[in-house]
Copies of this chain bind each other. A is one copy, B any other.
Amino acid sequence: MHSFLHSVRPNINPKVYSKDPFSSELGKKIIAESIVMIDEVGLESFTFKKLANRLETTESSLYRYFENKHKLLIYLTSWYWALMEYRLLYTTANLPIHEKIHASVKIICTPLSEEMIEGEVSLQKLLNIVIAESPKAFLTKDVDSENKEGYFTGFKRFSGLLGDIIKIVNPNYEYPYSLASVVIESAHYQRFYAAHLPKLCDARQESQLIQFLTDLINKTIQ
C-alpha cells in the first residue's frame, strides 16, 4: 500500500472545522504542526498561541480554521479513523474470513506507515495523539450533543467494521460490538501502559499485544 492520499482524501465531518484546512497552505501546516506539538507537549499545554508562534502566524488566523483546540483534536482523530477504515477495508478485502480477525488486530496495533500519506505529517505521532488524547475528546459533558452532530462517526464506523467481522465469524456470539470496542481501546491503553505503567500489562511488545488481542477475540467467540 502506498500514498493513496494522492487520490483518496478522508471524509471528515465539515462541522468540526470552520474552514477546510486542506484548502490552503496554512491549513495544511496547522494540521502537520499541531500533530507535532500535541505529541510533544500534550493536549493540556498545547495552545493556539504557541502553535501560532511556531507557524509564524497569529492566533486569529488559526481560529479561522478551528473554533478551539477541542475541535482540532476531533478533526485529527476523525482523520486517523478515516485512514484506518480505508486501511482495514483495503487490507482485509481479499482475505478469507478466518484470517480477517488477525489481520484487523494487526492493523489496529501497528502504526500507519509513513508512506501512506503525503510528506509533512507524522502518522506515528498521530497514533500517539489518538492513544493519549482521544479519550479526552469524548469523555466530556458534551458527548451527547457532539455525537448527534456526528463528531465520532469515524471511530464508531471503524469499531462497527470490526464488530461486523466478529459477527460473521460467529453469528451466535452475543457481544460482537462490545468486543470490538474493547479490543480497539485496549490496543491503545496497553501500548500506553507498556510505555508508562508497565505493572498494568505483560504484553510489552507489539507482537505480544497482537497475539494477546487476537487470542482474546478468538477464544471469546470460540
User: A: which residues have CB within 8 A of B?
Assistant: 41-42, 44-45, 132-133, 135-136, 138-141, 143-144, 147, 152, 155-156, 159-160, 174-182, 185-186, 189-190, 192-193, 196-197, 199-203, 208, 212, 215-216, 219-220, 222
Report A136 CB to chain B, min CB distance, Å.
6
The answer to whether B143 and A197 touch across the interface, beta carbons within 8 angstroms, is: yes
**Which 8 residue pairs are nearest across A and B when measured between Cβ atoms?**
A42-B141, A178-B201, A181-B200, A143-B196, A182-B186, A178-B203, A175-B212, A135-B135
**What are 10 inter-chain pairs, A to B, with CB distance below 8 A?**
A41-B141, A44-B140, A132-B140, A135-B139, A147-B196, A147-B197, A159-B200, A178-B190, A178-B193, A182-B186
Chain A's interface: helix, strand, loop or mixed, by majority? helix
Contacts A42-B141, A197-B152; is A202 near B220 (CB within 8 Å)?
no
- Known contacts A42-B140, A44-B140: A190-B181 contact under CB 8 Å: yes
- Complex formed: what's the CA distance from A172 to B143 in Å? 41
A201 and B147 alpha carbons, distance in the complex (Å): 15
How far does the Cβ of A116 sit from chain B's closest Cβ, in whole Å? 25
A161 and B216 CA atoms in complex are apart in Å by 20
Tell me the smallest distance from the CB of A167 to a CB of chain B, in Å: 10
Residues of B with C-beta under 8 A to A144: 196
Which residues of chain B have C-beta atoms less than 8 A from A160's C-beta?
199
CA A199 to CA B219, docked complex, whole Å: 23
